[in-house]
């Protein structure tokens, strides 16, 4: 276990990511989906957890695929020497194709136009290697993907291009967050029917469609591979706890004071003390991604107890009312995660902010140092490759 007194650079607030639990989550999913192939979506900085450490942990437990949204994310992975198959889920543009080829990335093809981009680049660059593609089929998300009725022409085109290797054929579920959802059942039905027709032509293709909801609620959607994101990170809400959260935010109390009755707290005095009380200051704010809409609504944990945020959250700090209880500068508070028997979950914050937990997560930024429990290294900057071991970081001080 890392000594928490030794937080890198003594920054008073930090994120903790439990990589050991992340690996347990993947094992649990693998057992649950009965050893189907696993693709872990790690777009948007691995849902805010940090792209490279999460990718490495996923590779260590033998996932079959990593999926990202865009070329830039995939290149970061390759530059970090991640050799696992990488599927880029998002759209492609002609001037990107050369990089997809050079970095050995699986490309999503969702129209004839996109297939032509690849074919044109292949010929222009006089490539010799095959190019791996996954064809995305539209079954109800209405985002990207070719309609089943127009896909015949695309597949004919692909078959005329021997350098296009169909690694996979996939679709995306729009409404899979409750059991027996009729629309999801229909999407599954459409895709299975389509699969029966097309699989003879592409016998090696991996068919996949299950996001977290599909993976958890719809076994018939597992097919050859599942793509659970939220479920792998442990905050997809399910009836039984198949996986657990791996993300916490902690901080050290930066200030303590006693405030008299009738005093306004923070900008515009949106909270006024109703009696003499004790107020502590927490050194994190919306400049770190801690949402301003938690002003006068959110909570922190101190000594295993919940205390309310009072007044507006500032860019770098906010205040908490601890009533008649005591606290000391330097005490550890938990903003997301567990302390004693209490827990503040991302889902709770999401409800208070009227959003989804993924949005809360991806908003935390690089000002908060990230501490990765289980590998003994800390990772400082998001979306860059300046990972260093904690030891090296300390020596640099």
Ligand X SMILES: *Cc1c(COP(=O)(O)O)cnc(C)c1O
The site string for ligand X over 203-232 (x = CB under 6 A, - otherwise) reads --------xx--------------xxxxx-
Total number of residues binding ligand X (CB under 6 A)?
A: 10
Q: What whole-number distance in Å separates Cα of residue 74 and Cα of residue 94?
A: 17
The site string for ligand X over 26-55 (x = CB under 6 A, - otherwise) reads ---------------x--------------
Active-site pick, 9, 93, 255, 267? 267
CB of 228 to ligand X, least distance (A): 5
The site string for ligand X over 117-156 (x = CB under 6 A, - otherwise) reads ----------------------------------------
For ligand X, the closer CB: 228 or 245: 228
Which residue's CB atom is positioned nearest to ligand X? 229
Phi/psi region, residue 366 (left: phi>0; alpha: psi -120 to 50; beta: rest), is alpha
Per DSSP, helices labelled H in the chain are 19-32, 43-47, 51-60, 71-79, 97-102, 112-124, 151-160, 182-198, 212-217, 230-233, 346-353, 357-363, 390-395
CA 208 to chain centre: 19
Q: Which residue has the tokens 């957890």?
A: 49
CB of 266 to ligand X, least distance (A): 35
For ligand X, the closer CB: 284 or 360: 360
Identify the CA nearest to 234 among candidates 380, 11, 26, 16. Answer: 26
CB of 87 to ligand X, least distance (A): 9
For ligand X, the closer CB: 122 or 216: 216
217 is catalytic: no
Q: Which residue has the tokens 């539209």?
A: 138
Q: Is residue 108 within the footprint of ligand X (CB under 6 A)?
A: no
The site string for ligand X over 55-94 (x = CB under 6 A, - otherwise) reads ----------------------------------x-----
Q: Return all residues near 184 (Cβ < 8 A) that are at least 6 apart.
A: 173, 174, 175, 176, 213, 214, 217, 218, 221
Q: What whole-number distance in Å separates Cα of residue 283 and Cα of residue 73?
A: 30
204 is catalytic: no
The site string for ligand X over 159-178 (x = CB under 6 A, - otherwise) reads -------------x------
For ligand X, the closer CB: 67 or 393: 67
Task: Look at residue 65 and give its three-state secondary structure.
Answer: strand
Q: What whole-number distance in Å separates Cα of residue 295 and Cα of residue 314?
A: 9
Active-site pick, 43, 132, 195, 250? 43
CB of 122 to ligand X, least distance (A): 25
CB of 222 to ligand X, least distance (A): 13
Tell me if 46 sits within 8 A of 67, measured CB to CB: no
Q: Give the length of the chain.
A: 397
DSSP state, 142? -
Q: Exposed (0-12), middle (13-18) or buried (19+): which is 287, by Cβ within 10 Å?
A: middle
For ligand X, the closer CB: 236 or 390: 236
* Interaction residues for ligand X, span 229-268 (CB under 6 A): 229-231
For ligand X, the closer CB: 41 or 285: 41
CB of 341 to ligand X, least distance (A): 29
Tell me if 192 sits within 8 A of 170, measured CB to CB: no
For ligand X, the closer CB: 168 or 228: 228
Give buried/exposed letters for 362-393 (b at 16+ CB in 10 A, else e): bebebebbbbbbbbebbbbebeeeebbebeeb
CB of 355 to ligand X, least distance (A): 15
Residues that bind ligand X (CB under 6 A): 41, 89, 172, 211-212, 227-231
Q: Residues with catalytic annotation?
A: 43, 267
């Amino acid at each position: 276990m890392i000594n928490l007194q030794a937080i890198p650079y003594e920054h008073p607030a930090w994120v903790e990511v439990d990589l050991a639990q992340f690996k347990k989550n993947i094992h649990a999913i693998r057992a649950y989906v009965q050893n189907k192939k696993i693709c872990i979506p790690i777009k948007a900085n691995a849902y805010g957890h940090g792209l490279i450490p999460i990718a490495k942990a996923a590779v260590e437990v033998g996932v079959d695929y990593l999926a990202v949204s865009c070329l830039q994310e995939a290149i970061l992975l390759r530059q970090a020497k991640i050799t696992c198959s990488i599927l880029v889920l998002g759209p492609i543009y002609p001037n990107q194709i050369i990089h997809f080829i050079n970095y050995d990335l699986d490309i999503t093809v969702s129209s004839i136009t996109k297939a032509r981009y690849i074919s044109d680049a292949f010929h222009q660059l006089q490539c010799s290697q095959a190019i791996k593609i996954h064809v995305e089929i539209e079954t109800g998300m209405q985002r990207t993907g070719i309609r089943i009725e127009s896909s015949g022409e695309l597949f004919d085109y692909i078959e005329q291009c021997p350098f296009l290797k169909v690694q996979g054929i996939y679709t995306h579920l729009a409404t899979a967050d409750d059991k027996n959802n009729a629309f999801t059942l229909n999407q599954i039905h459409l895709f299975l029917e389509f699969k029966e027709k097309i699989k003879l032509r592409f016998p090696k293709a991996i068919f996949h469609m299950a996001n977290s909801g599909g993976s958890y609620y719809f076994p018939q959607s597992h097919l050859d591979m599942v793509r659970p994101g939220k479920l792998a990170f442990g905050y997809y809400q399910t009836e039984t706890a198949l996986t657990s959260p791996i993300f916490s935010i902690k901080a050290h109390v930066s200030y303590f004071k006693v405030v008299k009755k009738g005093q306004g707290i923070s900008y515009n005095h949106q909270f006024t003390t109703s009696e003499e009380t004790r107020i502590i200051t927490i050194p994190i704010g919306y400049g770190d991604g801690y949402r301003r809409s938690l002003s006068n609504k959110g909570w922190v944990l101190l000594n295993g107890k919940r205390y309310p945020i009072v007044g507006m959250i500032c860019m770098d700090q906010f205040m908490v009312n601890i009533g008649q209880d005591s606290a000391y500068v330097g005490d550890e508070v938990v903003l997301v995660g567990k302390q004693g028997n209490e827990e503040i979950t991302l889902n709770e914050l999401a409800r208070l902010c009227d959003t989804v937990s993924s949005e809360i997560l991806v908003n935390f930024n690089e000002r908060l140092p990230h501490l990765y429990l289980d590998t003994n290294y800390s990772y400082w900057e998001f979306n860059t490759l300046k990972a260093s071991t904690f030891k090296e970081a300390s020596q640099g001080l």
